Amino acid sequence: MVVLISGLSLAGYVALRLVRGQSGIILVGLLGGLASTTATTLVYSKHSKNIPNFAGSASTIILLSHLVLFARIAVLVAIIEFSLLASIVPWIIGGLVAGTGYLAVLLFHRARQDQPLPELTVSNPTELKTAFGFAIAFALVLVLSAWMNDVFQSAGGYVIAFLSGLTDVDAITIANLKLFSMGSIEAKTAGIAIVIAFVANLILKMGIIFTVADRSLWRPVATGFAVLLAGVGVGLLVSS
């Protein structure tokens, strides 16, 4: 699991190092989502205060990085528990389609920006400290999820999914996939837990934006996140 997650993050990390984070709004958003949506949100939220009229570019980068998060979840499911992919795909596609539509509107209305993009600083995911940190987090989430499911049934697993999702979606996603593989939880429970973690992660990102970003960034990102969730909701209705 550590190798898998480190490999996904390493791809974005290496690409960002090669382009030095200066190769355009779309490229930085895509690579930022592959490397770290949290780092991407934090850096460009802060930068929205330092550069006049940068909110349009910052919101585009942040939202694009979160579209990559959908693809990241799909890849994890396909690799770890392919049988769950069919139940996950509808809300993944719903979120991607809705988010892409809103992003297209942002790109259409965004004024041209001449300011250089800031360097996106993320840690090397293959460093021992980073890798072991994820390993410990994954182990804790797996144990807590299993215990909460045993004691409080699916509701307990959902609580852990929300709390874990506030900081990281990967660990709780993998934990629920492993629990399903072992027969500890049903497919529906695993899928809902992943969605809850995703929602919790968006809540954290909005907290970051409200805390460190310029007020002009609040509305476009909040609207974008709402559109993502609406797409996810439609996907869940279709698959139910």
Question: What is the predicted pLDDT for the residue at 203?
Answer: 92
Question: What Rg do the C-alpha atoms of the chain give, in angstroms?
Answer: 18
pTM for this prediction: 0.79
- Asked if 25 and 59 touch (Cβ cutoff 8 Å), the reply is no
Residue written as token pair 């409080």: 152
- Asked if 199 and 229 touch (Cβ cutoff 8 Å), the reply is yes
| Rounded CA separation 53/228 (Å) | 24
| Rounded CA separation 175/16 (Å) | 28
Residue 233: CB atoms within 10 Å = 15
Mean of the pLDDT values across residues 32-42?
80
Q: What is the tens place of the pLDDT at every residue in 94-128?
A: 999 999 999 988 887 764 554 555 555 555 555 56
Q: Which two tokens stand for residue 97?
A: 């389609």
Largest interatomic CA distance in the chain: 56
3-state secondary structure of 182: coil
Question: What is the predicted pLDDT for the residue at 25?
Answer: 74
Tell me the pLDDT band of 31, cut-offs 50, 70 and 90.
Answer: confident
| Rounded CA separation 54/225 (Å) | 19
Residue 24: CB atoms within 10 Å = 12
Tell me the pLDDT band of 230, cut-offs 50, 70 and 90.
Answer: very high
Question: What is the predicted pLDDT for the residue at 21?
Answer: 47
| Rounded CA separation 202/221 (Å) | 10
* Mean pLDDT of all residues belonging to the chain: 80
Q: How many residues does the chain have?
A: 240
CA-nearest of 212, 235, 194 to 99 is 235
Q: What is the tens place of the pLDDT at every residue in 183-205?
A: 888 888 899 999 999 999 999 89
Percent of the residues in the chain that have a pLDDT greater than 70, as a whole number: 75
